[in-house]
């Protein structure tokens, strides 16, 4: 969350292939910088960060919000200028915490009050402070959090106070004027549980009362009723946080349109995100990057367990889904070299960006030597993490409405556990999946998994119905549709209906979660089962619907995820088998992976080591210590078409690529071993080639109105002609036959995919 108030500091740097999109490939660390540093010291810090391979370095100032001293800004400007002049690929960002103000040494006798005769923000500007449900203002004393000193005052301001907001905007403007590349914004939230506050939902200040009434015509609620007014207020708080961040972004962009806004939040996947109005889903649209602060298995020696590392991958996968087209920066901590390495490997496994630091601050490193090795390795292979397309035909839906109006209200986090439990089982079963946070774009998936989707809106139901009618499959667990999107109980449940809709009341994810019992803190229950029985039963249910798994001998504690990078299949492998409390060094595993397309060339890239070539036609066998990349070059499928059929060809290419078949659209027939041609013998461009393939009888067939079909020629190579009488018929035939084409290409007798073929 925040670094402690000691005068240490920061860092940064690096060299990138994508200078305009530096957030995507960021390797983040602090830079040794402090506003009273000499020019020589500033240089030294930045040079060092560059040597360590950081591409983004974080700097701190003496004030994190208002009244930033001019000498801080001058020093920051010198650091940024030096970095840009000497290391064009290094970006410098600065930490801010706009709503929290700490005043040091004002409660020397620790009686929880200001010392007599002193003033602080709480007495000078009480109107700035957030107000809890019980009417108390948000002022706290003492070191109940690691970033607050024992004699300090800690106050939290309200984003709806216009005077305070204006001051913050001034600070943001001045920061942007230093030429800084990005502003890191932390703790923009409304308090709820904090210090001696327990469910004391803020904010009830005068500004909030007025604004809520203005915006909704409702009176601000006085107690936790979970009636419609309360729920409206819960959502309204989230909007206030979004609007505040959006205004700060605009303020910064008015100075520098290229500046990036990085917003940090805590966890965000459970009901705490509702309590603090701090959901990654609502923050995503108003930020360039979200930095997810997360308690990983590497944070304590006691939490080193396979189940905890499996949960970490599941939650990092969630962040990748909720961040969508944005990168996912992970701010997580380790204590020792073994944990540092496993943390970096886990973050990379999901395609997130690694911030190297040591628990509990955001500065320094467990090992600068290891940091340098890790960053150097990421720099070399970053394409395989940040430039790939996921391969999966399964998606898992995360429902924010269910978190807000079911989990938060009930307090037992049933949806959260179902979502995480199902995700962990899929990873352990080697079924790759994508997380989605809305149901609007389902076309590329064959199967949607709905874990305990309790709060289902009519709109969502319609989208799911449409997906089923278009050929999709749904697997639902738990209490789907008991409530609507505002958490109002439905008189009667109206669910999507279709023979491809499979539903079970059983909460498989909760059962698994209870069995394996992942824990974040050392003092939590440590009894962890294997969850094997539940997983097996879940697998049987899963087998009723189509899904693609990775064909591998890897055990459940080795996660294998496939991606596509140009014409290569990239398997990311993470091994945590054999890890135990106090020992985060996994047992080496020997595993095999069988690929869907014949392998032309195979390269294994072990984490922090050098690449080696592997032998194998369809499958490869290799050893993995903690993490590795397996890069398989395969021949792409060619799709030949004219300009009219191009949209249909591109759709088909995307469909195949999503399923791990590299496919390219070509404008002349090539020698590919799989050639797909769109259009019949009369089509522009492609017609001449097709005419030589078809018999007279086939040509006559094709000339019938509305006719569409596939012609399959299997000789030394496979040629598939998708043809119709009219262009629309060709497009329809492509859409209707894409699953059959996929099967023809893979000829995967072992495939679990069985579609209703035409």
* Residues sharing a CB contact under 8 Å with residue 452, sequence separation 6 or more, in sequence order: 402, 414, 415, 418, 419, 477, 478, 479, 480, 507, 509, 510
Nearer to Zn ion, 157 or 637 (CB): 157
Supply the minimum distance, in Å, between the C-beta of residue 258 and Zn ion.
33
- The nearer residue to Zn ion, 158 or 297, going by C-beta atoms, is 158
Kindly provide the residue ranges of all beta strands, DSSP E only, lying in 351-507, ordered along the sequence: 353-354, 389-390, 394-397, 434-436, 447-451, 473-477, 501-504
Please identify, among the stretches 156-164, 566-574, 604-612, 695-703, the one whose residues bind Zn ion according to the rule CB under 5 A: 156-164
Contact 130, 187 (CB under 8 A): no
| Residues 347-358: b if buried by 16+ CB within 10 A, e if exposed | bbbbbbbbbbbb
Beta carbon of residue 134, minimum distance to Zn ion (angstroms, whole number): 14
Minimum CB distance to Zn ion smaller for 203 or for 641: 203
For Zn ion, the closer CB: 160 or 734: 160
Site map (CB under 5 A) of Zn ion, residues 330-349, x = contact: --------------------
CB of 60 to Zn ion, least distance (A): 27
d(CA 710, CA 353): 44
Residue among 164 and 316 whose Cβ is closer to Zn ion: 164
Site for Zn ion in 717-746 (CB under 5 A): none
The residue among 240 and 605 lying less far from Zn ion, judged by its C-beta, is: 240
Number of residues located near Zn ion, criterion CB under 5 A: 6
Minimum distance between the CB of residue 233 and Zn ion, rounded to whole angstroms?
12
CB of 162 to Zn ion, least distance (A): 11
Q: Indicate which single residue of 25, 52, 160, 317 sits in contact with Zn ion (rule: CB under 5 A).
A: 160
Q: Is residue 158 close enough to count as binding Zn ion by CB under 5 A? A: yes
Q: How far is the CB of 207 from Zn ion (least distance, A)?
A: 5
Cβ atoms of residues 187 and 2 within 8 Å: yes
Q: Measured from the CB atom, is 57 or 158 closer to Zn ion?
A: 158
Please tell me the distance from the alpha carbon of residue 739 to that of residue 758, in angstroms, as a whole number.
10
* Residue 157 contacts Zn ion per CB under 5 A: no
Angstrom distance (rounded) from CA 741 to CA 745 = 6
Sequence-distant (6+) residues with CB within 8 A of 626 are 341, 342, 345, 574, 575, 576, 585, 586, 607
Residue 235 or residue 646: which is nearer to Zn ion going by CB? Answer: 235
Contact in structure between 175 and 252 (CB atoms under 8 Å) = yes
Site string for Zn ion, 104-143 (x = CB under 5 A): ----------------------------------------
The least distance separating Zn ion from the CB of residue 240, rounded to whole angstroms, comes to: 8
SS3 for 207-249 is HHHHHHHHHHCCCCCCCCCCCHHHHHHHHHHHHHHHHHHHHHH
Cβ at position 232, least distance to Zn ion in Å: 16
Query: 158 vs 649, which CB is nearer to Zn ion?
Result: 158
In whole angstroms, how close is the CB of 639 to Zn ion at the nearest point? 57
Residue 107 or 207: which CB sits closer to Zn ion?
207
Rounded to 5°, angle at Cα 572 from 567 and 574:
170
Residues 167-206 that bind Zn ion (CB under 5 A): 203, 205
- DSSP assignment of 471-516, as one string? T-EEEEES-TTSB-TT-PBPSS-----STTEEEE---HHHHHHHHH
Q: Tell me if 659 sits within 8 A of 742, measured CB to CB.
A: yes
Interface region with Zn ion, contact rule CB under 5 A, candidates 158-166, 252-260, 478-486, 654-662: 158-166
Q: Does 453 bind Zn ion (CB under 5 A)?
A: no
Tell me the backbone φ, ψ of residue 656, rounded to 5 degrees: -70, -40
Half-sphere exposure (Cβ direction) of 242: Cα atoms closer than 13 Å: 13
Q: Is 238 in the site for Zn ion (CB under 5 A)?
A: no
Is 208 near Zn ion (CB under 5 A)?
yes
Residue numbers at the binding site for Zn ion (CB under 5 A): 158, 160, 203, 205, 207-208
């Amino acid at each position: 969350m925040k670094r402690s108030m000691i005068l240490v500091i920061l860092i940064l740097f690096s060299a990138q292939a994508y200078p305009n999109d530096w957030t995507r490939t960021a390797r983040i660390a602090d830079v040794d910088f402090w506003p009273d540093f000499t020019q020589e010291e500033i240089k030294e810090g930045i040079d060092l960060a560059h040597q360590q391979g950081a591409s983004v370095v974080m700097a701190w100032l003496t004030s994190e919000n208002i009244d930033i001293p001019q000498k801080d800004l001058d020093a920051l400007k010198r650091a940024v200028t030096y970095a840009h002049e000497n290391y064009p690929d290094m970006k410098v960002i600065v930490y801010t915490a706009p709503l929290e103000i700490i005043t040091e040494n004002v409660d020397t006798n620790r009686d929880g009050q200001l010392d007599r005769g002193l003033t602080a923000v709480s007495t000078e500007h009480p109107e700035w402070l957030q107000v809890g449900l019980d009417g108390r203002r948000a002022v706290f004393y003492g070191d109940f959090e690691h970033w607050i000193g024992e004699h300090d005052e800690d106050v939290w301001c309200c984003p709806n106070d216009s005077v305070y907001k204006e001051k913050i905007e001034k600070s943001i403007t001045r920061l942007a004027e230093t030429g800084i590349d990005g502003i890191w914004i932390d703790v923009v939230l409304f308090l709820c549980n904090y210090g001696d506050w327990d469910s004391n939902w803020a904010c009830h200040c005068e500004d909030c009362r007025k604004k809520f009434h203005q915006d909704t015509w409702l009176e601000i609620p006085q107690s936790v009723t979970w009636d419609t007014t309360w729920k409206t207020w819960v959502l309204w708080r989230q909007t206030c946080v979004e609007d505040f961040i959006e205004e700060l972004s605009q303020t910064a962009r008015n100075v520098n349109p290229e500046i990036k806004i990085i917003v940090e939040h805590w966890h965000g996947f459970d009901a705490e995100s509702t309590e603090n109005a701090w959901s990654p889903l609502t923050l995503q649209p108003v930020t360039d990057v979200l930095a997810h602060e997360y308690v990983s298995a590497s944070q304590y020696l006691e939490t080193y367990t396979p189940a905890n590392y499996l949960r970490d991958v599941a939650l990092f996968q969630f962040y990748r889904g909720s961040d969508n087209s944005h990168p996912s920066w992970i701010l997580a901590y380790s204590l020792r070299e073994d944990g540092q390495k496993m943390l970096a490997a886990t973050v990379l496994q999901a395609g997130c960006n690694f911030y190297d630091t040591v628990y509990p601050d955001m500065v320094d490193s467990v090992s600068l030597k290891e940091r340098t090795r890790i960053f150097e390795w990421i720099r070399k292979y970053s394409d395989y993490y940040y430039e790939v397309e996921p391969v999966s035909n399964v998606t898992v839906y995360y429902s924010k409405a269910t978190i807000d109006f079911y989990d938060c209200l009930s307090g037992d986090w049933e949806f959260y556990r179902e979502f995480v439990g199902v995700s962990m089982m899929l990873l352990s079963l080697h079924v790759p999946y994508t997380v989605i946070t809305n149901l609007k774009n389902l076309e590329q998936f064959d199967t949607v998994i709905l874990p305990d989707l309790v709060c289902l809106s009519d709109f969502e139901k319609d989208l799911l119905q449409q997906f089923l009618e278009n050929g999709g499959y749904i697997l639902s667990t738990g209490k789907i549709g008991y409530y609507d999107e505002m958490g109002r109980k439905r008189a009667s449940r109206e669910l999507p209906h279709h023979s491809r809709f499979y539903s079970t009341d059983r909460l498989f994810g909760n059962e698994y979660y209870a069995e394996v019992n992942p824990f974040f803190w050392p003092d939590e229950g440590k009894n962890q089962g294997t969850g094997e029985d539940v997983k097996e039963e879940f697998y049987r249910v899963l087998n009723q619907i189509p899904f693609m798994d990775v064909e591998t001998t890897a055990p459940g504690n080795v996660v294998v995820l496939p991606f596509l990078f140009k014409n290569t299949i990239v398997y990311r492998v993470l091994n945590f088998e054999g890890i135990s409390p106090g020992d985060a060094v996994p047992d080496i595993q020997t595993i095999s992976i069988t690929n869907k397309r014949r392998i032309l060339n195979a390269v294994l890239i072990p984490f922090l080591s050098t690449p080696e070539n592997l032998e194998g036609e369809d499958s490869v066998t290799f050893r993995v210590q903690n993490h590795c990349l397996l890069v398989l070059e395969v021949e792409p499928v060619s799709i030949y078409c004219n300009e009219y059929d191009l949209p249909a060809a591109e759709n088909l290419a995307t469909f195949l690529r999503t399923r791990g078949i590299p496919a390219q659209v070509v404008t002349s027939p090539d020698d590919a071993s799989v050639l797909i041609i769109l259009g019949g013998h009369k089509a522009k461009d492609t017609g001449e080639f097709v005419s030589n393939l078809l018999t007279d009888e086939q040509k006559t067939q094709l000339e019938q109105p509305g006719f569409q079909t596939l012609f399959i020629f299997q000789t030394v190579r496979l040629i598939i002609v998708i043809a119709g009488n009219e262009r629309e018929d060709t497009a329809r035939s492509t859409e209707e036959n894409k699953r059959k084409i996929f099967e023809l290409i893979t000829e995967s007798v072992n495939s679990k995919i069985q579609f209703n073929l035409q």
